Chain A
Amino acid sequence: MVKITEIVEKMPPMLSGKELISSLAVLPEYNVNIRESSVSERLIALSDLYSIFIPSKMSQEIYSKLYLALLRSLQKKCTKVVMQQQKENFKAIQQKAYSGGIIGGSDSFSIIGSSGIGKSSSISRAIELITNTAVIEINDPYSKIIPVLCVQCPFDSSVKGLMLEILRKVDELLDSNYYENALRRKSTTDTLIGAVSQISLNNIGLLIIDEIQNVANSKNGKSLVGSLTQLVNNSGISIAMVGTPETTVFFEQAMHLARRTLGLQYNSLEYGIEFVEFCKIMFHYQYTKNHTEITDGIIVWLYEHSGGNVSIVVSLLHDAQEISILSGREILDIESLNEAYAQRMSMLHDYIEPNIKRNKQTSTKKKKSSATICENSNDDYVESDWCIAELVVKSKNENVNIVTLLKEKVAVVEVRA
């Protein structure tokens, strides 16, 4: 039987603190001279923005969670019950009566967060750090272990579909023939679950199932979650389910479902140090001819127009620079940011509302143009010679909408109840 130390040695050491942050971070090289290059060169270099990864508290937590889950899963492969479980899994493949769950579940947990907050990027960065190689080879018994296997939950929550997808991914990494044989043999779902349990027990450390919110949108959702439970119990591996907040609604339905999805939940960033630092780093990567320093106003504007969603911030900064370069303005400022927001993000306007709960609409949405902030890079507020009370009086007297009057004076963002 393989020793725990032999497997653990194959994993890189667990990182923490500053070392972890520096390892997670991906900051492409930036040379200020790029601003002197041609338009096409700068536009090409601009795409570096998308490869930037700035570790957050979320990514550190995700790294730790995944590392420990993988470690626990690999440790389970060194226990004596493995043999008994293999025997039971074989019975399942043969469609004979079997007793499952000898090895027991290791871990199943969830990583839930809205789209675009950086879950998948954090997970892929974490996986890159956790795994030295795509496959770990051990002797006694000889086995090739995939440390982390990522699959997507099928759109229709089909159990067979998920099992086949796992087999296909295993074949891709291990150069085996499980998928082909499963298709050839037209295996039943139960047989597939048995086979996947066996293969997971032998060859997989941690299984990550992305887009798990598909279970909420499909009538097969419960059976898929049930099959995952069976898989966990019969293989002893850790399973991480990654998805959007829709998943929580589904898993809250029953205790046994809720228990399976204890884990990490994240929302968009609050306006705070983390967001400010993020913006400062991103803003540093400028490819326009004219350099702009970031101001609090810009940061506030970015927060209000992204809702704290980091992927939107990246998109805004990228598209603003792109528009600016192409139009010849060659400056990254509020105007180019506004332009990018108006032209490229129109479909997101209704979704970007930081810290405001969004209720269901009762009437047709009326598209409103976004409020614009007057450009004021010096962070000085314009002295006003009006007051709200006067405007209210004027509105009553002239029977004019107060919002219209306010718009003349300040930037107004309308919110429908």
Chain B
Amino acid sequence: MITYLPMPYPDETIYSLLSRAYEKGGYLSISQAKEEFFMQSKEKFDFLFTNKLVPELVNLFTKTCAWENFLEEHTLLNYYGRYLTKDKREKAYQSLVSLEGNYNNLFSLTPNRREEDEFLRYCPLCAEEHRNTYGETYWNKIFQISEIKVCPKHGCKLLNSSIHKDRHKTTVFAAAETEIKDVNVEYGTDKERQLAKYIEAMVHTPFQLENEMNIGKYFVSKMENTPYLSNRGQIINIHQLYEDLAKFYNDFSVGIKKEWQISKILHGERKNPFEIAQIALYLGISAEELINATMPEKAPEQNFDDKVLEMLENGTSAYRIADELKVSKSLIRLIAKNHGVKIYNNEKYTTNENENLQNKVEECRKIWLETIAKYPNSSYSYICEHSEHKLQLRWLRRNDKEWTDQHFPQKAASQAKAQRLSQLDVLYLPKMELYIEEYKEKPGEMPKRITMSAISKQMGIKGRELYEMTECRKIVENYVESQEEFWARKIMWAISEIETNNKTLCWNNIKKLVHMKKDNYYSCRDLLLKVLDVTIVEACDPVEKSENIKYF
């Protein structure tokens, strides 16, 4: 039972709170404190989120606020969860609320691949303020974000403590008040301060769980009328953007270092919040705007099209539009075609475009069929490479995809391989039973699971050839058992071994023989009940320490 628990301070990490509770609670050892606080006392510390806490502790924390609000206040949920996709965000959020763990993976935290160690950090001026206000200082969650360099409030550089921010290296509760001694103040650069403000906004502003904002698309929409986006907004000049960004942040040791990082962010495949902040700062998007980002009603491409259509309606010629907007005339024509707008009103210039197109399609289809007949059993790329009608074939593929899908050339499977497998099938068929018998366990040995790959190895044939030897495969499939059936067979063998050696029938003794997890046992328990007496199965059941606790 917890007899003393200090109140959490604003923005304090849960690790910091528990460290203070440990130092003030009169605990004689760290293990005693861990047993009181954590469901599993051997669990390593989590510095950014939380460990799996005992229900009593959760109840104490939620005396004055809801559990979800507590997590928002004292973990980096807002920061790391903000830009995940909706599904991932929901999954990560539920996992955190239910204290299921694995947060680094679920929140897509970028692992530290730099050679230098990371430590818990603090702002010397904030530490002083805390001491004046509360009588002691604490670990602030925002300062534990690897990429932040300065305090967003004071602008001074963050200092490293002596506590490793590595769960494998730090095994003690270390309160900030005990660890923080150095209070030298050194100020950071403007850019560092600005980025810190972005991070602060990301950390403190709650996000909407259902928000489907794609930050990459948002950035693209913001790059309209910049050199980084083509006029129509479909092509991103990532290289230029990367070079300019690199010059802008040339003294930064963290964040965007490679072009692919930008590409992935803009295509919605990478969600690193700090890198997002870097791009936002460079593009002149304020922190507030970034946090409250909403997709514009129309994409840049749509805006461009609307502009073109407007100009066309006003009577501007396609040539002039192309010239003004610095795009090709064919693009103007394509836009007009997509929206059903005529480029030329004068009949003199109007052509029977549809009819011409249809004729061209017919002609190309004919060529397609003839060419495929000429190159049987060959792939499409092979045909294009060798045929003189390459251009027609490719044009048809672009403009008549549905028809070409139906008449797509199929590369024939290798004849030689099929023949060889057939011969192997005939050769091995009489010996299959023998191979299976040799593989199976001897009487008294632990059962072995018969699978295709196991028999394949026994036979000495490689890869997936056995799968394609149809007759031999049928024989093996007679012996293949599901995973649960195999586990049940293993348990039954273990029971017989225990009875033979006159040992007590209990889960511990079974586990020593078969090295099976409890979950695996439970998944095959029903099968055991069909074969064994219920008293025997109950004797084998693992003894549970405490009930499975679900929080929410």
By a CB distance below 8 angstroms, the chain B residues around A203 are 3-4, 26
B166 in the interface, Cβ–Cβ < 8 Å? Answer: no
Rounded to whole Å, the gap between the CB of A84 and the closest CB of chain B is: 7
Q: Tell me which residues across on chain B come within 8 A of A177, comparing CB atoms.
A: 32, 35-36
A90 near B24: Cβ-Cβ < 8 Å: yes
* Residues of chain B contacted by A139 (CB below 8 angstroms): 7, 63-64
Bound complex: CA of A90 vs CA of B172, how far in Å? 14
What is the count of residue pairs linking A and B with beta-carbon distances less than 8 angstroms?
A: 78
Q: Do A143 and B63 contact each other (CB < 8 Å), given the known contacts A83-B135, A84-B135, A202-B24?
A: no
B550 CB to closest chain A CB (Å) equals: 24
Asked whether, in the complex, the Cβ of A176 is within 8 Å of the Cβ of B29, the reply is: no
Could you give, for residues 163-197 of chain B, a 1 whenever the CB lies within 8 Å of some chain A CB and a 0 otherwise? 00000000000000110000000000000000000
B309 to chain A, nearest CB (A): 65
Check if B23 is an interface residue, CB within 8 A of chain A: yes
- Complex Cα distance A124/B195, Å? 65
Instruction: Indicate which residue in A80, A141, A181, A182 contacts B4 across the interface (CB closer than 8 Å).
Output: A141
Contact A141 B135 (CB under 8 A): no
One digit per residue, 1 when the CB lies within 8 angstroms of any chain B CB and 0 when it does not, for chain A 334-367 equals: 0000000000000000000000000000000000
Q: Are A143 and B4 in contact (CB under 8 A)?
A: yes
B331 to chain A, nearest CB (A): 67
Find chain A residues with CB under 8 A from B60 CB. 142
Contact call A202/B25, Cβ cutoff below 8 A? yes
Stretch of A64-72, A191-199, A275-283, A403-411 on the interface side: A191-199
A381 to B439, CA, bound (A): 118
Q: A83: which of B3, B4, B5, B136 is its contact (CB, 8 Å)?
A: B136
Give the distance in Å from the alpha carbon of A93 to the alpha carbon of B173 in the complex: 14
CA distance A411 to B123 in the complex (A): 90
Neighbouring B residues of A176 by C-beta, 8 Å = 1-3
Nearest chain A CB to B27 CB, angstrom units: 8
Check B23–A185 contact: CB distance below 8 A: no
| Minimal Cβ-Cβ distance residue in A for B31 | A181
A132 at the interface (CB under 8 A from B): no
Query: Which residues 129-186 in A have Cβ within 8 Å of B in the complex?
Result: 139-144, 170, 174-178, 181-182, 185
Q: Does B6 contact A (CB under 8 A)?
A: yes
- Chain A residues within 8 Å of B35, by CB: 177
Known: A83-B136, A142-B7. A178 touches B1 (CB 8 A): no
Contact A143–B3 (Cβ < 8 Å)? yes
B window 213-266: CB within 8 A of A: none
* CB-defined contacts of B135 to chain A, threshold 8 Å: 80, 83-84
User: Inside 8 A of A290's CB, which chain B residues have their CB?
Assistant: none
Shortest Cβ gap from A172 to chain B (Å):
11
Task: Determine if B177 and A174 form an interchain contact, defined as CB atoms under 8 angstroms apart.
Answer: no
Chain B residue, CB-CB nearest to A90: B23
Residue of A80, A84, A140, A174 near B3 (CB, 8 A) is A174
By a CB distance below 8 angstroms, the chain A residues around B549 are: none
Complex Cα–Cα for A347 and B220 (A): 102
Closest to B134 in A: A83
Interface pair A191/B24, CB less than 8 Å apart: no
- Report the separation of the CA atoms of residues A44 and B3 in the bound assembly, to the nearest whole angstrom: 43
B531 adjacent to chain A (CB < 8 Å):
no
CA distance A329 to B2 in the complex (A): 60
For residue B23, which residues in chain A have a CB less than 8 angstroms away from its CB? 86-87, 90
Residue B413 interfacial (CB < 8 Å)? no
Q: Nearest A residue to B6 by beta-carbon distance?
A: A141
Q: A83-B135, A87-B23 are in contact. Are A202 and B28 (CB under 8 A)?
A: no
Instruction: State whether A198 and B26 are in contact (beta carbons under 8 Å apart), knowing that A83-B135, A139-B63 are contacts in the complex.
Output: yes
Given contacts A83-B135, A142-B7, contact A174 B1 (CB under 8 A): yes
Q: CA–CA, A182 to B27, complex, Å? A: 9
Query: With A83-B136, A87-B23, A198-B24 known to touch, is A142 a contact of B4 (CB < 8 Å)?
Result: yes
The answer for the CA separation of A322 and B294 in the assembled complex, in Å, is 93
Q: Nearest-CB distance from A79 to chain B (Å)? A: 11
Q: Which residues of A contact B1 (CB under 8 A)?
A: 144, 174-176
Q: How far is the CB of A238 from chain B (nearest CB, A)?
A: 19
Task: Report if A187 contacts B (CB, 8 A).
Answer: yes
CA distance A195 to B4 in the complex (A): 13
Indicate if the CB atoms of A178 and B26 lie closer than 8 Å: yes
Contact B28 A142 (CB under 8 A): no
Bound-state Cα–Cα, A175 to B1, Å: 6
Q: B265: shortest Cβ distance to chain A, in Å?
A: 44
Interface size on B, residues (CB 8 A): 24
**Nearest-CB distance from B459 to chain A (Å)?**
58
Among B2, B4, B27, B60, chain A packs the most CB atoms within 10 A around the CB of B4
Set of chain B residues within 8 Å of A175, measured between Cβ atoms = 1
How far apart are the CA atoms of A8 and B64 in the complex, in Å?
22
Chain B residues near A195 (CB-CB < 8 A): 26-28
Those of B372-425 within 8 Å (CB) of chain A? none
Question: Known: A86-B23, A87-B177, A177-B35. Is A141-B28 also a contact (CB below 8 A)?
Answer: no
When distances are taken between beta carbons in the complex, the residues of chain B under 8 Å from A140 are: 7
Chain A hits for B32, CB < 8 A: 177, 181, 185
Chain A nearest CB: distance from B97 CB in Å? Answer: 22
Residues of B contacting A191 with CB < 8 Å?
28
Tell me how far the C-beta of A247 lies from the nearest C-beta in chain B, rounded to whole angstroms: 29
B178: chain A residues at CB < 8 Å are 87, 90
| Residues of chain A with a CB closer than 8 A to B29's CB | 181, 185
* Nearest CB of B to A94, in Å: 9
A144, closest chain B residue (CB):
B3
Q: Which residue of A lies closest to B64 (CB)?
A: A139
Bitwise interface map of B from 24 to 54 toward A, beta carbon under 8 Å scored 1, else 0: 1111110010011000000000000000000
Q: CB distance B3 to A182 under 8 Å?
A: no
Tell me the smallest distance from the CB of A300 to a CB of chain B, in Å: 54
The CA of A199 and the CA of B23, in the complex, are separated in Å by 11
A176 to B4, alpha carbons, bound, how many Å? 11
Interface pair A142/B5, CB less than 8 Å apart = yes
Residue of A nearest to B63 (CB): A139
Q: Are A198 and B25 in contact (CB under 8 A)?
A: yes
Q: Which residues of B contact A198 (CB under 8 A)?
A: 24-26
Chain A nearest Cβ from B65, distance in angstroms: 12
Q: How near does chain B come to A96, taking the closest CB pair, in angstroms?
A: 10
> Which residues of B11-27 are within 8 A (CB) of A?
23-27
By a CB distance below 8 angstroms, the chain B residues around A141 are 4-7, 24
Residues of the A chain whose Cβ atoms lie less than 8 Å from the Cβ of B5: 141-143
User: Which of B3, B7, B24, B64 touches A86 (beta carbons < 8 Å)?
Assistant: B24
**B residues less than 8 Å from A196 (CB atoms):** 26
Shortest C-beta distance, B5 to chain A (Å), equals: 4
Which residue in chain A gives the minimum CB-CB distance to B4? A202
Least Cβ distance of A230 to chain B in Å?
15
| Chain A residues within 8 Å of B4, by CB | 141-144, 202-203
- Contacts known (A142-B4, A174-B3); A93 close to B36, Cβ less than 8 A: no
The residue in chain B whose Cβ has the minimal distance to the Cβ of A199 is B26
CB distance from B134 to the nearest CB of A (A): 8
Please, how many angstroms separate the alpha-carbon atoms of A83 and B132 in the complex? Answer: 13
**In chain A, residues 199-217, which have Cβ atoms closer than 8 Å to a Cβ of chain B?**
199, 202-203
| Minimum CB–CB distance for A195 against chain B, Å | 5
**Contacts of A72-91 to chain B: CB distance below 8 A:** 80, 83-84, 86-87, 89-90
Alpha-carbon separation in the docked complex, A182 to B60 (Å): 25
Find the B residue at minimum CB distance from A200.
B26
Mark B residues whose CB is within 8 Å of A.
1-7, 23-29, 32, 35-36, 60, 63-64, 135-136, 177-178
Contacts A143-B3, A202-B4 supplied; 20 other A-B pairs, CB < 8 Å: A80-B135, A87-B136, A90-B178, A140-B7, A141-B4, A142-B4, A142-B5, A142-B60, A174-B1, A176-B2, A176-B3, A177-B36, A178-B26, A181-B29, A182-B28, A185-B29, A185-B32, A187-B28, A198-B24, A198-B25
Task: Provide a sorted-by-A list of 20 A–B residue pairs whose CB atoms are within 8 angstroms.
Answer: A90-B178, A93-B26, A141-B4, A141-B7, A141-B24, A142-B5, A142-B7, A142-B63, A143-B4, A143-B5, A144-B1, A144-B3, A144-B4, A174-B3, A176-B2, A178-B26, A181-B27, A185-B29, A195-B28, A202-B24
Q: Lowest 3 A-B CB distances belong to which pairs? A: A198-B26, A175-B1, A199-B26
